[in-house]
């Protein structure tokens, strides 16, 4: 008998939103396989979700088949999604991805489907709950440190800083410690926290680095990239395992 693994939907990104990909290139949807590898090692069966932004009924049909939702990292989010004009330092965006991910995130929060947000995924979950973002943390948030330790200047597993974990949070329980070292590859970040969310980790400069939904349902998001740390970091592995276990329990 075949093993029944929980089905985890992983959203994709328009290839044309990636820097250096010409608009004339055939339309494609892509995603870094490190997310999928981490999910497989945690016991899940991951599936990539298309960005059918103009077909919400199809997206709902796909969503209804899932046991869990992973919102991965990627390009910047259009500020129109949280009611702001574009800042001069806004980078590449992917509007169809914004539409699809925000709808999926709202469904997951409403239904109690287990959801894990990573980097951009944290920002999507926050907007889905009515929050807002700094379009560029260093430019818009007084006293902010550098947060974009990205390739090629740094490896994806470069530990840029520590985060302080809030006592009583899922992350604190997973880490078994008051703090944890993390990588950092973002320049956007949470400005106003969304409704029904709690901040559960902070960077040394006070920026929110993790959020969890209030209540029993598993809805956790982190501003760092645990998929890049998971091969050699037990806390990252534990995060994926707990997410997959919640999806299995559903």
**Residues labelled as active-site residues:** 119, 225, 227
Longest dimension (CA), the chain: 58
DSSP for 35-47, written as a single string: HHHHHHHTT-EEE
DSSP for 79-132, written as a single string: GGGGT-PPPTT---B-HHHHHHHHHHHHHHHHHT--EEEETHHHHHHHHHTT--
Compute the distance between CA of residue 171 and CA of residue 221 in angstroms, rounded to an integer.
Answer: 10
Closest CA relative to residue 126, chosen from 225, 205, 221: 221
């Amino acid at each position: 008998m075949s093993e029944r693994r929980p089905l985890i939907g992983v959203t994709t990104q328009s290839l044309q939103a990636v820097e250096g990909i010409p608009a004339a290139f055939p339309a494609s949807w892509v995603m870094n396989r490190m997310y999928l590898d981490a999910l497989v090692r945690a016991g899940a069966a991951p599936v990539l979700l298309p960005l059918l932004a103009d077909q919400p009924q199809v997206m709902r049909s796909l969503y209804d088949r899932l046991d869990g939702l992973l919102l991965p990292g990627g390009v910047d989010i259009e500020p129109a999604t949280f009611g702001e004009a574009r800042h001069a330092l806004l980078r590449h965006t992917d509007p169809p991805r914004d539409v699809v991910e925000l709808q999926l995130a709202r469904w997951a929060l409403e239904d109690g489907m287990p959801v894990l947000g990573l980097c951009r995924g944290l920002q999507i979950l926050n907007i889905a709950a009515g929050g807002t973002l700094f379009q560029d943390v260093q430019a818009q948030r007084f006293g902010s440190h550098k947060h974009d330790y990205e390739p090629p200047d740094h490896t994806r597993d470069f530990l840029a800083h520590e985060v302080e974990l809030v006592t009583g949070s899922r992350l604190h329980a997973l880490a078994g410690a008051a703090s944890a070292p993390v990588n950092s590859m973002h320049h956007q970040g949470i400005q106003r926290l969304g409704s029904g969310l709690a901040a559960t980790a902070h960077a040394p400069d006070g920026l929110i680095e993790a959020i969890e939904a209030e209540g029993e349902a598993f809805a956790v998001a982190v501003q760092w990239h645990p998929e890049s740390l998971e091969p050699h970091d037990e806390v990252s592995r534990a995060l994926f395992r707990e997410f997959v276990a919640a999806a299995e329990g559903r």
